[in-house]
Amino acid sequence: MLNINNIGAEAMIHTRDHKTPYLIDPWDYLGPKRRRLLDESWAGLFREHILSELPVDTIASCYTDGFGRPTKEIFAALGVLILQQMHDLTDEETVSQFSFNLQWHYALDIPGESDEAKYLCPKTLWTLGGCRLAH
Residue 83's nearest CA partner among 62, 104, 54 is 104
Helix residue ranges, H only, 2-134? 31-39, 42-45, 56-60, 74-87, 91-100, 102-107, 115-118, 122-134
Condensed to tens digits (0 to 9), the pLDDT of residues 36-47 reads 999 999 999 999
Q: Is the pTM of this model over 0.85?
A: no
Give per-residue pLDDT as tens, 12-71: 555 677 677 778 999 999 999 999 999 999 999 999 999 989 887 776 666 666 666 666
